[in-house]
Amino acid sequence: MNNRDIFILEKISQYCYEISTTIEKMDLDYAKFHDDFIARNAITMCILTIGKLATKLTDEFKENNAEIKWKSIVGIRNRAAHGYWDMNTEIIWQVATENIPELKAYCENILKEIE
């Protein structure tokens, strides 16, 4: 794996951590998330950044790690970035609470393997 992919995985992992920490520190459930624009904006911004970072991973890395749906990660980023006025908060919450922990664990496992 090249240094660029390692750097990007570290950044993705950091943004995943920021999402989970925001949820924990703000004691969020879906109702609180839905009603709190600060929480929504913070978490959505992290998801946007993760999606943008995913576009920077090498094709080789994405092909060798196809169990992660990299196109979907980029797709949710594009949807949030270009259709933000019409984003479904349920989808963002689902991504933040279900997909992000899985992505974080996946990235951390890869990074541990290369240490």
Q: What is the pLDDT at residue 83?
A: 66
Q: How far is CA 37 from CA 33, 80, 101, 109, in A?
A: 8, 15, 22, 33
Contact assessment for residue 80 and residue 54, using Cβ atoms and an 8 Å cutoff: no
* DSSP designation for 26: T
- Tell me the C-alpha distance between 65 and 71, whole Å: 12
Q: What is the pTM of this model?
A: 0.92
At 12-67, the pLDDT tens digits run 999 999 999 999 999 999 999 999 999 999 999 999 999 999 999 999 999 999 99
**Count of domains forming the chain:** 1
At 4-23, the pLDDT tens digits run 999 999 999 999 999 999 99
For residue 59, what are the domain limits? 3-113
* Among 88, 106, 85, CA closest to 34: 88
